[in-house]
Amino acid sequence: GSEMCIRDRLKVELNTNKMGWVDNTTFIPFRCNEVNLELEPGINTWLDNINKKHGTIEEWIANIKEFIKEDETGIIRFMLAVGFSSCLLHIVNYRGTIYHLWGNSGIGKTGLLELVNSIYAPPSNIITFAATPISITILSERLSGIGLIIDEKQSSFDDSKIAMLLYSLAEGRTRMKATKESDLVVNKTFEINVITSGEEPLNERSHTGASRRTIEIYLDRIFKDDKASVRAVSYTHLRAHETRRHL
């Protein structure tokens, strides 16, 4: 009886260690419904960029419109749509997709990725394939429902590791592992669309399962001219910090 009485007086706090959907009405960090986001110290600073609002949606739209006007191929519109789409995967009960942009160096791939990344975070939140596979899968789980952008495929680790990483990202879950004490570490799941870029295609290195959920997009140019590409990079580096995370 006394235990029930004390329990009734205690305030219940709900915590999560990742972004995205907690239930059908709670989406971290935009609609929290009294759910607290608790992150590990090592990752807290990185994800805190997403958890803070800067600027207004009107400012962001006005800036992005300038690039949409020069979008002759439609790729900017398409990738912005992909950038917004991870939050819908839970609703439609669908696993994520890998969208890989590839083409020669200097055509504006990184500038485009930074434009997309400005939806939620500053350009500094873009990672490269030089990161370890474990760190990338951890970020994928923490950014569930938000999205992940990985640049510079040519800087990647060996082929076998990148193939396993791509398979994990396409499956939306990590691999189950055993510890030295023979305990099982349950695989973690995430609902995320991933955007990658590089100077070569992905499917040459990916498993069949991953390749079926990968969209390869070859680009010979993105922006109307070199000046537009420079403006994109300048915008995302100098102004996205004031207009990001507008939702």
Q: Mean pLDDT of successive 10-residue segments in the chain (247 residues)? A: 58 80 84 77 67 73 82 89 93 90 87 86 79 86 90 69 82 68 70 91 63 84 65 51 44
- Token duo for residue 190: 């995430």
End-to-end CA distance of the chain: 46
- Token duo for residue 244: 């990001």
Are residues 246 and 121 in contact, defined by beta-carbon separation less than 8 angstroms? no
Q: What is the CA radius of gyration of the chain?
A: 20
Task: Tell me how many degrees the CA angle 112-230-60 measures, rounded to the nearest 5.
Answer: 55
> What is the H or E stretch that residue 99 is in?
strand 98-102
Phi/psi class of residue 148: alpha, beta or left (left: φ > 0; alpha: ψ in -120 to 50)? Answer: beta
pLDDT at 101 (0 to 100): 93
> Does the model's pTM come out above 0.85?
no
Q: Is the peptide bond before 29 cis (omega within 30 degrees of 0)?
A: yes
Cα–Cα distances (Å) from 104 to 76, 109, 154, in that order, read: 17, 9, 11
What's the residue count for the chain?
247
Longest alpha-carbon distance in the chain: 75
pLDDT at 241 (0 to 100): 43
